[in-house]
Amino acid sequence: MSLKLLALLCLSSVAHADQTVALVPLSTLGQEDTSAATRKLGQQIEAALAALPGTKVVPSATVSDAIKKAKKPALRACEGDSKCLGEVGALVAANIVIAGEVGGLGSSQVVYLSATDVATGKELRSTTLTIGATDDGGGASGAAVRLLDPERYRGALRFAIDVSGATVYVNGTKAPLTAKGELSLPVGTHAVRVTHPEYRDFVKFVSVPYGQTVEVPVGMQ
């Protein structure tokens, strides 16, 4: 990740207030999954959430203990019910509750994650995390950003244009580049067009992965 992109991501998060996020134990087919592999996956998600600026994480083990002490076993199987998840969050004084359902897809695991606001009892966002396959979404870190701070779910392009005076357009809009020829963009595929009055247009579709800078060499003809 370039220093410029890292700085942009950090600055964009300053406006976000501190938050306490609780991760409920991951489940499979509606039941808490206590397998070693799933516990390890839960730890990866917890670490990714904790890495977000201003975020305190209540681990799933602490959430499980709080449910046990409250003698409310029904809260162990919310199955995506936002009101139920909000009640879980209230037990551990969290602002947001993250729930995950683990499924299989061939040799890969897919975790369906959702973020619920405790105060309103409403789902904020949902996303998927794929384990064991090629993933340009940033893994657990990318999933955490998509759930809690989607504006930071970005990457960058760095243009190396072999002529001066060219103009860059991305998705039909003129794009001002930094002094190093870089441009921050949301993750995804973007249509790039580079124009110059003395050359043919350079046109290409470029995929931008999370937290990375993609080099775009531009040879004008």
- Do 135 and 31 share a domain, yes or no? yes
- Do 80 and 134 share a domain, yes or no? yes
Give the pLDDT confidence score for residue 142 in this predicted structure.
93
- Do 132 and 164 share a domain, yes or no? no
- Do 28 and 132 share a domain, yes or no? yes
Give the pLDDT confidence score for residue 217 in this predicted structure.
96
The verdict on residue 43 lying in a domain is yes
Please tell me whether residue 128 adopts helix, strand or coil conformation: strand
- Do 29 and 136 share a domain, yes or no? yes
CATH value at residue 106: 3.40.50.10610
- Do 112 and 160 share a domain, yes or no? no
Mean pLDDT (whole number) for 66-70:
92
Give the pLDDT confidence score for residue 145 in this predicted structure.
95
- Do 188 and 168 share a domain, yes or no? yes
State the residue range of the domain holding 120: 17-148
Task: Label residue 107 by pLDDT band (50, 70, 90).
Answer: low
Of 177 and 73, the one with more pLDDT: 177
Give the pLDDT confidence score for residue 106 in this predicted structure.
61
Please report, rounded to a whole number, the percentage of residues in the chain having pLDDT higher than 70: 89
- Do 103 and 197 share a domain, yes or no? no
- Do 108 and 170 share a domain, yes or no? no
Whether pLDDT at 134 is above 70: no
| Segment 150-161, tens digit of pLDDT | 999 999 999 999
- Do 140 and 160 share a domain, yes or no? no
Tokens (6 digits) for 130: 């794929």
Task: Label residue 4 by pLDDT band (50, 70, 90).
Answer: very low
User: Nearest to residue 212, comparing CAs of 158, 150, 155, 144?
Assistant: 155
Mean pLDDT (whole number) for 5-28:
66
Count of domains forming the chain? 2
- Do 88 and 194 share a domain, yes or no? no
| Alpha carbon distance 4, 184 (integer Å) | 9
CATH value at residue 164: 2.60.40.1120
Give the pLDDT confidence score for residue 77 in this predicted structure.
82
Task: Label residue 15 by pLDDT band (50, 70, 90).
Answer: very low
Task: Label residue 11 by pLDDT band (50, 70, 90).
Answer: very low
Buried-state track 155-189, b at ≥16 Cβ within 10 A, e below 16 = bbbbbebeeeebebebeeeebeeeeeebbbbebee
| Alpha carbon distance 98, 40 (integer Å) | 16
Task: Label residue 176 by pLDDT band (50, 70, 90).
Answer: very high
* Number of residues that make up the chain: 221
Q: End-to-end CA distance of the chain, in Å?
A: 31
User: Nearest to residue 79, comparing CAs of 94, 58, 64, 99?
Assistant: 99
The verdict on residue 4 lying in a domain is no
| Alpha carbon distance 163, 199 (integer Å) | 9
